[in-house]
Structure 1
């Protein structure tokens, strides 16, 4: 494969940025990325590939959308968005680059061909046909899928794809538009294995029917109405269109008018029927440079267009009460008109050729051409729906408008029994979900549903009388949940059909709306009054038998006349093209993405009409839902700035009652609507959407420019911040506080946190605004406090306590450093005393406070400490005193804490021993954090290339000592510590840990973290247990460390359980003292009957005093003593008038001192510091006693045993010389005696 072509493309793209002579922009971006993400390697940002760029026609800002590359191949989902202002300053850089790409990327040579990848994929989709491929350059291809009556021509590319496991997989990227037009998938197929790694649906479907509907007001018959209107700056081509003119939203909102030459001359300079850039139309049908509109009732994507003839006269009759096939030309004309108007309006706000708009001919204005909208009227692929499929710039988007079966419907049903109420009653038509009623009708008995929730007859939870409902027709009340949910609960209880009671007194029944493939029973609605007749009979114990039948239903409504929904669908194309750049249509993918919100917003903005009674009150989609124009529409409530009508805020987004994406988008549009009316209050309203400069025009400018500035994969906070930046770039920040107040009103204030844009449940609402936007009445008064005035770590947290609304802060820490944060954390480098000042300012003045010598950064002073000396085995007192009133702690030679206080009692061993005294004001801490074990949620051993980490915050210097892990196998694990929440980039520490166990075990770590901050710890290919559900963050050691999350989201917990953490405390340097051995008395002896020869083995002895235990003594060095009687005696040797040793001996029972070897005993290991073993080969069946004495003669172990081996645990005994002996139990005879040395 040739790679050089892409390398050339990268160079060419860099040069193309020089629209205003900016050849160094890539270098600026690269440098800034490495500044913002210091863990990035230079190789991560070398060869940045410019996927798209343009200069905004409204702001003059140059927007640049880039991908990283590796091995000369671009990483498709590594979108970075940069913006340069008119002075060529980098003013925006969003999107997180991928770190360590060289180590993450698999081979750049594919193992399967593009043709193989496409053939396998389309076969799984049920498409049987041929695939042809032609290479265009190094990594780009053209492809054709030919399945007879299905032909799909597109492009493909070899790219890398960054997976959720943080691996870079080589993939074939191509798209497939399904033959039934239900989906248009963009595929990522592994070029190594053929596995499908990802599919993105470019087609956004919007089901525009609500949970209820009412009588439709203003749904009249529209015949030929010849009101002629014109617009300014038109293109003169003689065209005439009979349409519902903007801002008329739908036939419910106004009448058709005859418009002459409505094309806008800048956006469509050659009119709406041109595509060659030469004056004079090229088409007489509803086709031109911006859109090709046609009917697709047969769902074949190529129906007939309306033809206006050479005069371009698109004046077709319309009687909206007739069947839709009688007015197709009028519908196609309105769809053509609406698409063109939207194109021309959005062009004025910066959605032009260069930014990726929809045009067949871009007239030399940049961008990719050949992508006018294909708009399909009366599409036969479905009902009650509309959709927009948006591939990248240069490929045609497709808009499909369907017919609706919603609204009031004239139906009826028959009561068969009891005879007292037998009659035919009115009802709605069958619901839009579930099957139709059978032609012969469905007969059954009525059963009033009861459920677990109050009120109990709504059917919004599990039905509690299923035995009664089973096999019968369920009747229940409207309200509490969707009609679809009611139907599912009813069918689960065994109902054969469902009757919904309209709970609004005096209101006619309407067709229950909704869509679901799960519903298997038919449904209809009856009025409250009719239901009362049925329920009264049931209350009297009557059996009510009915027959339900399909009615003719209501007249279908044509979505091509609903300008609001046409705008909604068109703007899906706008938001997909502008977010992440025109070539990238896959950036709106998270659960918190706002695509539906933007679509609603532009719909109500382009159909805004201030002549109506209450223009702030805007239901969405009332024509489609069958609501009156002031009804609820297709959203939870109408859009309105009043909380009495619309009380939804950012805090509502996690509500499971709000769907994804429509409910989430509804909240976003609510915020934008509030902001718009705030702008209108200041700047007024202008109905001229092309040339106006009023508040509504400003709002459209801000929102459109904001889409260009936000990152790929945005959430609410990203969108808000992009609009704030757009205001700075477009209006010099004139509306910052207005924007802040509008978002804060709806919970997206200054302190709001969106969490991950992938989740709609982890955001935090806040209703505050930044201090600069708070109203002030007096100058501020400065005040502050600190976490501690005396510190030995140098770390101090400062807390602003100023009053009267300060809007800016300036801290002088007294060491040459400063901060403008409100509540900074500062670390002093040198010990000393520091004065700190805080200056606070608002628009009315400033105030300063100075606290002199406030911070005392000092370590505790070294204590005075004194050792002691004594004989081996003797206890002596070590002493110390604190010079500054703190406390003393004592440590042994292994620096283990052994005591607290001014003195410590040490036992003298056989050698001099060092101890350390330390002055402290705060003791070091040893504690544990994290889940105790992995016994929560679900999980398993995890071994992919994903770098699984725990993310944690450190508040003071710590050492991570160890952690509990669950290993899938033995082997070395390279565990890394990263700075920040990212698990990418270069680690700041890496340890190779030898895991020598399978299953549960503890590993030693030893990560030293000196500074507070956010860190993460983990590894890839871990083969360690990971929980993928049940995590309950945060896990805290108060004031020390908090484990706050994982890179995979709030449910996951990676690898490290029960983490052992130590702190440094606040301590002085160590002062060494010695517990000195002044002498050690030791001896051996040789036995000959009753005569014993004692041999002194003491070092440096100059005098000897023997006590033979029988009343006799000697001052010789090596005396021989004859006992009068056999027996056991305690012999003591005292040397140098101080140190002594006492040993128990048996006289008259053995003839040699080497009794251990004679009797077959062995002690090992010797010396020992842990376990010692005594083998007993000759007396294995005897009852024996083992004794261990120290050098002072004190018995420290006495244990009875039987067997050939005994284990002796020496833990807890001081190091030194000991004597071990074995005798028969209850006897004084010595079977074995030997020296045992306990090592340190």
Structure 2
């Protein structure tokens, strides 16, 4: 037997326009090629082709139920009049087999050639279409990402099922990705109804691997699926029997909301293959039936553009959606020093919900305050205000809790499967217990995760169990009875679905033609008016240790010199404070620099920093110390005593290291306390200049001399040549013979030559050798006991 299904539609907007074929007890699908020419290629599993009887294969189409319930008898099906096919390629590395039908299926069968993808990126969700154990078409959904895996040597995509799965006999059936394209065909796996969740998975040989296969046209797909040689990563499906362009149409629920969440549903005709939604706020979507969340209040115009192989169409509904969300909450962030928790707060008119993302994300908790988990870096959280209203009680589900069945006490779990179309509260359910005792009721999501559980202590007979479980919009929830629960269940007169329009639909149980345990559900619609989310910062400030160093433009100075000190803080914060100290006493302004000249030798300068950094520990720091070396200024002063024309001068200066006397008669001295004989009576301005490393200081006194012997002791002094080269001659004429002192000073006052002549004749010539002295200007002093003579000369 060979079967093919026509296009299908499944709840939760799975895939439309996908088709499935089956050969013998195996399943196949028509697959498109880059020429879009309706070549009837059929993809199945390699291990389904081992008999090599391709010419005997017979193809059936459209063997499917009109509803989600298995019919009591086999429905009608279509099949081609010319049987058989031709093998094109197969390979065990990815367990694929490609054949070409001997007859192209007619348009009366509504054939559809599925698109495919050879991407190596895992699909984010998947949909399988199959015929388990030669049964009519079944559909299985996976909301989890595919996993690349090797299974018994076959390069595969591992698909993780929720409450739906495949069963033995589904081999060769296709698996579709989130974009409606085949990514593999079923090779094998442990999946079967009623098994533990850990066994609910299958392995599909990858189209991505089959593309190159074994490297020849007989072992790869590329030669057959890409006759144009364009090497695409994917192509979309093809309906060769379309004769009309699509006509766009859609609906939305709700059209006025305070939550911001709107479900859009495509209602277009003539089988569009692509969709482009414009939500009126600058955002778009290419999903067929998108759920969209608005983030701002307003009225929005919606447009939908649909396309098929014939053409496209657009519809625009003006001012179609009205969003009136509560105003955003008022928030306050928080901070912590180093790794740890942070306290955040928000206020609004309803219940504050905290999230880890600007949209979507995880609901972390409720309340006006929120304490983050321990974090090591600054993290943004988000707060929204939810105003919840609870609708009136409504009832759904079978009420046949005491007939058409019996009590079931078994070691296997059984459950009801239901969809929540709008957020609701499951208030209570009725159960019929065969005896008193505890019963466990569990709510699970589509992947089998426990969401709620309760242990109810029941009396024998019919009881109402209060649950009060808030359940958000979603599909394939399960309400599970524990093993050995000994509760009433139905095995006849079951009519699925049990629904309240727009709220909830109980669609099936995990065993066909059964209704398990839970009757007369009391439900209430929950309407959440949701404000825009507001970011709230949880700031992690790193713990810092402040420090400070100071420097000076000079630490060795003369008294009165100005010095500038500069502070160099580390981790001082935005507005650090500075306290300068001189010898432990506070001085100076609150500034990073200070300039002063008020120093004494060995004064000590420090600066104390008070950091404004949030997490400075400790908050203050003391700088290095700078000890000042201050040299005093020299101060000139002198006294003198007199004996006729002989004067003895005594320096009373302080802090000096050298001296220069100017006696006002053309002679000088560098002695500390010189004796000087003036040439004769008169008035002389005597000046003493004293020096040290900080400079010099000068003081003067005016002296008047008188001497009756002056005329007897005149000195006549002739110096030649002047300028002199290597020799200088002095001709001295005295009134009488006496002691003569000769000195030569350089221009700085330094004594470089001295000669004493005793009993010098009244008329004498004295030669001085200048060859060892530097060239320059010199001062020649010639002294007797009663007089002296000073002449400048040049040595060249």
More strand by share: 2
Name which structure has the greater RCO, CA cutoff 8 Å, separation 6+. Answer: 2
TM-score range normalised by the length of the shorter chain:
0.3 to 0.5
More helix by share: 1
Task: Answer with 1 or 2: which has the greater Rg.
Answer: 2
- TM-score, scaled relative to structure 1: 0.22
